[in-house]
A and B are shown apart, each in its own frame.
Chain A
Amino acid sequence: MEDIQGVHNFGIAEGKQYIVVCLGTEQYGIDIKYVDNIVRNQRITRVPKAQHYFKGVINLRGEIIPVMSLRLKFGLAPDEFTNATRIIIIKLEPQSAIGIIVDEVKEVVTLDSGSIDKANTSDPSDPLVQYLSGVGKHSNGLISLLNISAVIVGREGRDVV
């Protein structure tokens, strides 16, 4: 298990820090303040009759945490579990954690407000837009910044089709 809570310490005064993760070829950014932990893939226990994008629950040091597949939520191809697959433990509220499965965790970047473009929320052609808070520009390309609370509590996107 990799513990990246220490990342907070080398934060830079201005700008927000994001954890950059990959889903397929796309890069997504998750605001670091919501990230509690990042763990390797582990045994997931299926929960019957749950929403289809919930893979089940995991046991994280005695705590039972539901795990959601970002791919299924976004209507992408199902996850393939590899050595790089990670579960990002998100805490929106202190008492309720949730895990998000991603293909890979790349790095932590700091983006100041100047390098973030507002997402075009009015574009109806892309159902994913409701999950985004903006697009960040970084040396490694563009990063779609996730609106994490929308991802967790929001309704499903593309897979309605």
Chain B
Amino acid sequence: MDVSQYLEIFIDETKEHLQTLSDQLMILEQEPENMDTINEIFRAAHSLKGMAGTMGYKRMQRLTHDMENVFQEIRSGNMTVKPELVDVLFRGLDALEGYLANILESSDEGTEDNEEIINTLNGIADAATGKVKEEPEKSVSEDVPKESGAAKYENIQISDYEKNTFDKAKAQNENIFGITVYLHETCILKVARAFLVFKALEELGEVIKSVPDIQDIEDEKFDLDFSLVYFTKESMEKVKAAVENVSEVDEVVIGPFDTSDNSESKTESTSEPEPIKKEAESEKAVKQTPAKPAAAQAVAKPAQAKQQAAKKQAKPAVGRTVRVDIEKLDVLMNLVSELIIAKNGLVSINSAEGESKNDAAAFNEQIEYLESVTTNLHESVMKVRMVPIESVVSRFPRMIRDLSKKLGKKMELHMTGEETELDRTVIDEIGDPLQHLLRNSADHGLESNEERIALGKEEVGNIYLDAYQDGNNVNIEVRDDGAGINIEKVRNKAIEKGTLTAEQADHMSDKEIIDLLFRPSFSTAEQVTDVSGRGVGLDVVKTKIEGLGGNIECKTVIGEGSSFIIRLPLTLAIIQALMVELGPEKYAIPLGSIETIEDVLVTDIKSVQTKEVINLRGTVIPLIRLDQILDIKAGNDDVDILTVVIVKKGDRLAGLVVDNLIGQQEIVIKSIGSYINCSKMIGGATILGDGEIALILEVNALV
């Protein structure tokens, strides 16, 4: 048995609890008297402590334990919530997150003790209660209901063979104890805990027999208690302490195992000998004291044995998991059954060939059925991969709170659309860029409180994080009502830095100037804080988002604030696309980026600065001759009417000239591999129904 198999559960649950803690602490800061919140925090801290203990993360356990103590005091009314306390608790939370990060990486919590936080916490608790340090620890244990359990080990039956080993043990001057361990009734990972009890005991001596036997315990075939016969040279107290150190052990009943009594009265009825056995030799000596139920005690002493045991199971990085609603799985299951039915339908048509006349009709019907099933199946599988964006953004209120304190600016974060769902792979990657943008807004976007008052704005700065679905995209908007970006300054800076010539800069639109901020050369803090205070690593943000198949855009109004809009594709692997023909070749244009399709008279094409444009209902749209940029041997040049696919990137439009439209199709995006030096214009390839390959055009790179 091995606790590492519980590591994933541990990590998932720890994340949830940490999030609860963080959320509730935020509330607590606003409403220090809120008893529900305090209880919630207490529960989360308590669960964390238990879980950390189970997994053998000693430092984590200790820290949560002390946090829990403080809340115990608050709960019992011995102290009130003060801002300093919340600060310390937040630091404690950060430390816990640090542990978790370490565990994620190496399945080891690391060696940081965070003594300072612990001492501060204890100091606060002590000051509030006027008690000595040990006492809060005791108070914790009191909230766990305890009853004295029966010494069930007295009922363990011993075979002749085992009795023999007992004699040998006695002869070796070892103590023989009977131990009954009661687990806490809310305990989830009973097996893990039992395992840790065994592990702890085996450090000190030898478990001779257990009821139920080890196999059953491993299979979780036991209630909340199990009993053991145990050989050790250690004292009863030490053994007891070791077992009690395993968290969620409710009670340990230990006493000398009366071999003579048990063996004589019950030997006959026992089964075959236990496999776990070791030879012991020499003299005999058995301590004879009556078995007494042990009193409940706090779990406080360090148990090195257990900790080491868990640590040995080190396993690198944890696989990524998605929690799936069982209903979604049911839907999938149903669809798969339908798929099989559809397949059977086709098989039966095939085998009935020639017999019926309406073959073709039946065949078509089946194909349509199959099509609807596969579409639904695709949708459902995508849904399984979808995770609400909440899991990423929920940490931001906390971050803004900290930034607000650190920068000495009052600000508030308003979030909407946290329930918007995105693919898991996107969710995993999007956190950092968003954090970056929020920091930028808080640090550079918002003016100081004094400036705001002077400008007639409300004192508290506002930062908005809005997520919403827009067609095939999910948009995430990071907005602030701060100073905005001074475009002229950026322009001048760009000229000064030699990024642009003055002439170039004059010709560039404001939008193009803002785009400069996303250039790597504009990315270091020093270069940009002078200009507008923006641009720290914006190029990194851009790269990351483009890597996810999305794009980012910035809008700004001086004096009113700026907003960064991130557009991300809803799905990654399968998309709806328009198939077009260019000469002899076929290309796919993702439907999500297509606005309209127009027929344009060649005579309507105008030339502006040597670029071809068309005027479409009042909008001037540049034309892109796909055959030219893709080096396709021109088909027929002498046409009067061009088919133009109008595509958009953000609010920029462009017209792609194609030879022929084939139609809309659901395509599976495939990579064309890393060997081939593929241009950015090609976003991948897909296989068509006839086995032919069509390349997918990356509209974002074309426009």
Binding site for B on A (CB under 8 A): 43, 45-51, 54, 57-59, 62-66, 68, 96-98, 152-153
11 new A-B contacts, CB < 8 A, other than A47-B678, A48-B630, are A43-B692, A47-B682, A49-B677, A49-B681, A57-B673, A57-B685, A64-B671, A64-B672, A66-B675, A96-B674, A153-B675
With most chain A CB atoms within 10 A of its CB, the pick from B677, B678, B693 is B693
Chain B contacts with A in 223-269, Cβ cutoff 8 A: none
Pairs A–B under 8 Å by Cβ, sample size 26: A45-B685, A45-B693, A45-B694, A47-B672, A47-B676, A47-B682, A48-B629, A48-B632, A49-B678, A49-B679, A49-B681, A50-B676, A50-B679, A51-B676, A54-B677, A57-B672, A57-B673, A59-B687, A64-B671, A64-B693, A65-B673, A66-B673, A66-B676, A68-B675, A97-B673, A153-B675
> Closest Cβ of chain A: how far from B134's Cβ, in Å?
58
Tell me, rounded to whole Å, the shortest Cβ–Cβ distance linking B627 to chain A.
10
A70 to chain B minimum Cβ distance, whole angstroms, is 14
Those of B448-502 within 8 Å (CB) of chain A: none
B631 within 8 A of A: yes
**Which of B585, B631, B694 sits near A49, CB closer than 8 Å?**
B631
Beta-carbon contact of A59 and B630 below 8 Å = no
B103 CB–A CB distance under 8 Å: no
B695 at the interface (CB under 8 A from A): yes
The smallest beta-carbon distance between B632 and chain A, in angstroms, is 8
Q: Which residue of A lies closest to B582 (CB)?
A: A48
Most chain A C-beta atoms within 10 Å of own C-beta, residue among B632, B675, B678, B695: B675
Q: How many A-B residue pairs have CB under 8 A?
A: 70
Interface size class of B (residues with CB under 8 A): 20 to 34
- The 9 A-B pairs at the shortest CB distance, nearest first, are namely A49-B679, A66-B676, A45-B693, A48-B630, A64-B670, A51-B677, A66-B673, A64-B685, A54-B676
Is A59 in contact with B676, judged by CB distance below 8 angstroms? no
Please indicate the chain A residues that have their CB under 8 angstroms from the CB of B632 in the complex. Answer: 48
Given contacts A48-B631, A64-B685, contact A59 B693 (CB under 8 A): yes
Q: Within 8 Å CB of A152, what residues of B?
A: 675
User: Bound complex: CA of A152 vs CA of B585, how far in Å?
Assistant: 26
Which of B678, B679, B687 contacts A62, CB < 8 Å?
Answer: B687
Q: Residues 646-675 of chain B: 1 if any A CB is under 8 Å from the residue's CB, otherwise 0? A: 000000000000000000000000111111
| Beta-carbon contacts under 8 Å, B43-73 to A | none
Interface residue from A48, A96, A97, A153 paired with B682 (Cβ < 8 Å): A48
What's the nearest-Cβ distance from chain A to residue B421, in Å?
Answer: 29
Q: Determine if A48 and B681 form an interchain contact, defined as CB atoms under 8 angstroms apart.
A: yes
Tell whether B691 is near chain A: CB-to-CB under 8 Å: yes
- Nearest CB of chain B from residue A45's CB, rounded to whole Å: 4
Which chain B residues lie closer than 8 Å to A48 at the CB level?
Answer: 629-632, 679, 681-682, 695
Question: CA of A139 to CA of B691 in the docked complex: distance in angstroms?
Answer: 42
Contacts of A49 in B (CB 8 A): 630-631, 677-679, 681-682
Instruction: Point out the residues of chain A lying under 8 angstroms from B630, CB to CB.
Output: 48-49
Chain B residue with Cβ nearest A51: B677
- The chain B residue sitting closest to A45, CB to CB, is B693
Distance in angstroms between the alpha carbons of A62 and B695 in the assembled complex = 14
Q: What is the CA–CA distance of A43 and B693 in the complex, to the nearest angstrom?
A: 9
Q: Are B695 and A47 in contact (CB under 8 A)?
A: yes
A47 to chain B: which residues have CB within 8 Å? 672, 676, 678, 682, 695
CB distance from B676 to the nearest CB of A (A): 4
Give the chain A neighbours of B682 by CB distance below 8 A: 47-49
Residues in B neighbouring A58, C-beta threshold 8 A:
693
Compute how far the CA of A97 lies from the CA of B670 in the bound complex, rounded to whole angstroms.
13
Q: Which chain A residue has the least Cβ–Cβ distance from B687?
A: A59
CB distance from A42 to the nearest CB of B (A): 9
| Bound Cα distance from A124 to B672, whole angstroms | 34
Q: Mark B142-159, 1 if CB is under 8 A from A, else 0.
A: 000000000000000000
Q: Are A96 and B675 in contact (CB under 8 A)?
A: yes
Q: Give complex CA distance A58, B670 in Å.
A: 12
Given contacts A45-B692, A45-B693, contact A64 B687 (CB under 8 A): yes
A139 to B328, CA, bound (A): 65
Complex interface bits, B85-103 against A, C-beta within 8 A gives 1, otherwise 0: 0000000000000000000
Rounded to whole angstroms, the CA-CA distance of A50 and B671 in the bound complex is 14
CA distance A152 to B675 in the complex (A): 8
A48, B695: Cα distance in complex, Å: 9
Q: Is the CB of B673 within 8 A of A50?
A: no
Do B585 and A45 touch across chains, with their CB atoms under 8 A apart? yes
What's the Cα separation between A4 and B691 when bound, in Å?
23
Nearest A residue (CB) for B686: A64
Decide: A96 near B685, CB < 8 A? Known: A47-B695, A49-B631, A50-B678. Answer: no
A59 adjacent to B692 (CB under 8 Å): yes
CB-CB nearest in chain A for B670: A64
Write the chain A residue with the least CB distance to B587: A48
A46 CB to nearest chain B CB (Å): 7
Q: For B687, what are the chain A residues with a Cβ–Cβ distance below 8 Å?
A: 59, 62, 64
Return the chain B residue nearest A44 by Cβ.
B693
- Interface membership of chain B positions 349-376, coded 1 if the CB is closer than 8 angstroms to chain A and 0 otherwise: 0000000000000000000000000000
- Contact flag A46-B585 (CB < 8 Å), given A58-B693, A64-B685, A64-B693: yes
Kindly state the separation between the CA atoms of A57 and B674 in the bound complex, as whole angstroms: 12
A117 CB → nearest B CB, Å: 29
List chain A residues, Cβ under 8 A from B670. Answer: 63-64
User: How far does the Cβ of A36 sit from chain B's closest Cβ, in whole Å?
Assistant: 14
Report the Cα distance A96→B676, complex, angstroms. Answer: 11
CA A59 to CA B687, docked complex, whole Å? 7
Residue in A43, A57, A62, A96 with the greatest tally of chain B CB atoms within 10 Å = A57
Given A57-B693, A62-B687, A64-B687, decide whether A98 and B673 contact each other with a Cβ distance below 8 A: yes
In whole Å, how far is A58's beta carbon from the nearest beta carbon of chain B? 7
Most B CB within 10 A of own CB, among A58, A64, A65, A68:
A64
Q: How far apart are the CA atoms of A66 and B676 in the complex, in Å?
A: 6
**Whole-angstrom distance between the Cβ of A97 and the nearest chain B Cβ:** 8
The interface residues of chain B lying within 8 Å CB-to-CB of A64 are 670-673, 685, 687, 693
A74 to B553, CA, bound (A): 45
Rounded to whole angstroms, the CA-CA distance of A58 and B692 in the bound complex is 8
Set of chain B residues within 8 Å of A63, measured between Cβ atoms: 670
Contacts of A59 in B (CB 8 A): 687, 691-693
Residues of B within 8 A of A43 (CB): 692
- Per-residue contact bits, chain B 579-601, to A (CB 8 Å; 1 contact, 0 not): 00000010000000000000000
Complex contact A66–B672 (CB within 8 A): yes
Assembled-state Cα–Cα distance A45/B676 (Å): 13
Chain B min CB distance to A34 (Å): 14
**In the bound complex, what is the Cα–Cα distance between A66 and B675 (angstroms)?**
7
**Could you tell me the distance between the alpha carbons of A100 and B679 in the complex, rounded to whole angstroms?**
21
A62 proximity list for chain B (CB < 8 A): 687
Assembly CA distance A44 to B675 (angstroms): 16
Q: Which of B677-703 contact A (CB under 8 A)?
A: 677-679, 681-682, 685, 687, 691-695
